[in-house]
Amino acid sequence: MPTATAPSSPELTNVSASTSYLRRDRCRPPPLHFCAQMNANIRSNPSLDSPYFDLAGHIGSRAYCLHNIVYGDTADETATLLDVGVKDLLPILIPPPPVPAPKGVTFSIRKSEGKNGLGMFAAQNIPVGGLITVERPILVAPYIIGLQTHSESDFYTALLQRLPADTVARFMELANCKPASECDIVEGIMRTNAIAITLDVPDVPHPELSTHRAIFLDISRCNHSCGPNARWQWDAASFSLSLVALRPIEAGQEITVAYITPTCSRSERRTKLKTMYNFSCRCDFCARPSSLTSKSDVSRSELQTFWAALPSFEEWCLNPNMGDYALIDAHIRAVSVIESEGLEMLEYGKHLDAIAMGYGALRDVEQFRQWAWRARDFRPMDPEASRVLEGWILDPETFPVWGWRNLAKGSPKN
Ligand SMILES: C[S@@+](CC[C@H](N)C(=O)[O-])C[C@H]1O[C@@H](n2cnc3c(N)ncnc32)[C@H](O)[C@@H]1O
């Protein structure tokens, strides 16, 4: 087991007890070919959403500080390396998470057979949409650190030095999937466990990327599944990550998330996971018999293009040549594929909403109520949306698009 002591940190200018500013005087621009490669990678990465990223400009305009966030509602602390503009946007008092942590013990962390180490397991039955845990990060750093003076590992080490010894010890016990030939232990742990979070970025010519890396000590123990039963939900305002059930999870079942978007084929998924996280996936979906693989691959690729191939709700409402159930049937098919592939993480709630809307437009009270309840149950974490939906379920005639399809076809609304 590696020791929890952190080696020496990068050069810092101490300004106050809680914030240190990193010196930029030895900062050199990286070689042109490196900039070109990084620009191409970042601009083409849809999750970073930065089609005009310019590494040279980014580096030239960065000034960072090391700053510990403390919270009013817990004794937890987060050590952050942030662009000074981003740090200045943090509120002085960070509010508590939007939904209070669940009562009682919801999970335990223990050995997971076949999954290289530990995993998170449900300690009680958790309903669909149920909150499993809510956690603050111990450490946050930019996705790309625009200072060439130190290695990435040096920055992470400086952050660890700002945390209590028991927190550092727990960090050092996290999984490391990277070989020593690639990077040191601290960087390996970061690359294995960091979760992408989005922070508010300042509106300047070369903004910091909003995507940052964050470490969460409990949620990091969730293993991957190609049909996960839980998802992460980041709330930037309260600096908290919630883990939410995507379908009912029974006590004792492993809680899993998806490390990659699992709509590609089984072999592509396995190649990605091996390259990025160095493991051969042992999830239940990869373990299905090979006779089911090609059907599953086709179903997953169908979901990738589902929305592009579909007319909009308004088009369907206004076009009497389209069948009354054309849109509803397409969404019901998507729901059934999602359920058989365990992909509720993929806009499942949007399909439920669309089906309820379709039945509402057709003035079918019974079906409208049934699907609207399912849509509500899927997201109980959003109390305001639930309240609005409950109002419509109670009195469907108040639903904003009630009877629209019938109206477009020339029949009366009521
Ligand atoms: C973020 S950690 C997850 C928790 C980890 N099992 C632990 O003991 O802390 C990621 C590592 O867990 C293992 N892992 C996660 N999901 C897996 C899966 N579906 N099959 C096999 N190994 C998996 C891999 O070794 C991977 O690099």
Residue nearest to atom 7 of ligand 1 (CA): 118
Q: State both tokens at 106.
A: 């919801």
Ligand 1 pocket test, candidate residues 112, 115, 191, 232, most atoms within 8 A of CB: 115
Separation CA 332–CA 318 (nearest Å) = 21
- Please list, in sequence order, all residues whose beta carbon lies within 8 angstroms of the beta carbon of residue 59, skipping any fewer than 6 positions away: 27, 29, 30, 146, 147, 148
Q: What separation in Å is there between the alpha carbon of 12 and the centre of ligand 1?
A: 35
Separation CA 264–CA 255 (nearest Å) = 22
pLDDT at 257: 98
Sign of the torsion formed by the C-alpha atoms of 163, 12, 215 and 153: negative
Is the shortest distance between the CB of 109 and ligand 1 below 6 Å?
no
pLDDT at 18: 63
Separation CA 184–CA 226 (nearest Å) = 29
pLDDT at 382: 81
Ligand 1 pocket test, candidate residues 113, 116, 270, most atoms within 8 A of CB: 116
Ligand 1 pocket test, candidate residues 277, 280, 282, 284, most atoms within 8 A of CB: 277
Q: Is the pLDDT of residue 8 over 60?
A: no
Is the shortest distance between the CB of 177 and ligand 1 below 6 Å?
yes
pLDDT at 4: 37
Is the shortest distance between the CB of 223 and ligand 1 below 6 Å?
yes
Is the shortest distance between the CB of 172 and ligand 1 below 6 Å?
no
Segments making up each domain of the chain, as ranges: 12-257, 304-408
304-312: average pLDDT? 89
Identity of the residue numbered 188: G
Q: Is the pLDDT of residue 2 over 50?
A: no
Is the shortest distance between the CB of 296 and ligand 1 below 6 Å?
no
Ligand 1 pocket test, candidate residues 190, 223, 275, 276, most atoms within 8 A of CB: 223
- Which fold is adopted by the domain 12-257? Beta-clip-like (2.170.270)
Predicted confidence (pLDDT) per residue in 106-165, tens digit: 999 999 998 889 999 999 999 999 999 999 999 999 998 877 677 889 999 999 999 999
Beta-strand pair 240-245/131-135: antiparallel
* 205: confidence class by pLDDT, cuts 50, 70, 90: confident
Q: State both tokens at 339.
A: 């359920």
Is the shortest distance between the CB of 78 and ligand 1 below 6 Å?
no
Identity of the residue numbered 392: W
Separation CA 206–CA 60 (nearest Å) = 9
Residue nearest to atom 23 of ligand 1 (CA): 115
* 412: confidence class by pLDDT, cuts 50, 70, 90: low
Of 262, 265, 245, give the one whose Cα is nearest residue 254. Answer: 245
- What count of other Cβ atoms lies within 10 Å of the Cβ of residue 315? 11
Predicted confidence (pLDDT) per residue in 58-78, tens digit: 887 788 899 999 998 898 999
Q: Is the pLDDT of residue 215 over 70?
A: yes
pLDDT at 397: 96
Find the helix or strand (DSSP H, E) in which 188 lies.
Answer: helix 185-193
Residue nearest to atom 1 of ligand 1 (CA): 193
Q: What separation in Å is there between the alpha carbon of 126 and the centre of ligand 1?
A: 22
Is the shortest distance between the CB of 119 and ligand 1 below 6 Å?
yes
In this predicted complex, what is the ipTM? 0.99
Q: What separation in Å is there between the alpha carbon of 273 and the centre of ligand 1?
A: 10
Find the helix or strand (DSSP H, E) in which 74 lies.
Answer: none
Identity of the residue numbered 366: E
Predicted confidence (pLDDT) per residue in 322-366, tens digit: 999 999 999 999 999 999 999 999 999 999 999 999 999 999 999
Sign of the torsion formed by the C-alpha atoms of 289, 290, 293 and 294: negative
Q: What separation in Å is there between the alpha carbon of 193 and the centre of ligand 1?
A: 9
Is the shortest distance between the CB of 118 and ligand 1 below 6 Å?
yes
pLDDT at 23: 56
Of 63, 96, 106, give the one whose Cα is nearest residue 81. Answer: 63
pLDDT at 339: 97
- What count of other Cβ atoms lies within 10 Å of the Cβ of residue 105? 9
Predicted confidence (pLDDT) per residue in 243-291, tens digit: 999 999 999 999 999 999 999 999 999 999 999 999 999 999 999 998 8
pLDDT at 296: 95
Of 265, 249, 254, give the one whose Cα is nearest residue 102. Answer: 249
201 CB-side CA count, 13 A: 19
Q: Which atom of ligand 1 is nearest to the CA of 286?
A: 19
Percent over 90 (pLDDT), the chain: 69
Separation CA 157–CA 8 (nearest Å) = 7
pLDDT at 308: 87
Predicted confidence (pLDDT) per residue in 353-404, tens digit: 999 999 999 999 999 999 999 999 998 778 888 899 999 999 999 999 999 9
- pTM of the prediction? 0.89
Maximum separation of any 2 CA atoms in the chain, in Å: 76
Is the shortest distance between the CB of 257 and ligand 1 below 6 Å?
no
Q: What separation in Å is there between the alpha carbon of 117 and the centre of ligand 1?
A: 7
Find the helix or strand (DSSP H, E) in which 406 lies.
Answer: helix 404-408
| Angle of helix 383-394 versus helix 365-378 axis, rounded to 10 | 170
> What φ, ψ does residue 238 adopt, rounded to 5°?
-100, 5
Helix (H, G, I), strand (E, B), or coil: what is residue 240?
Answer: strand
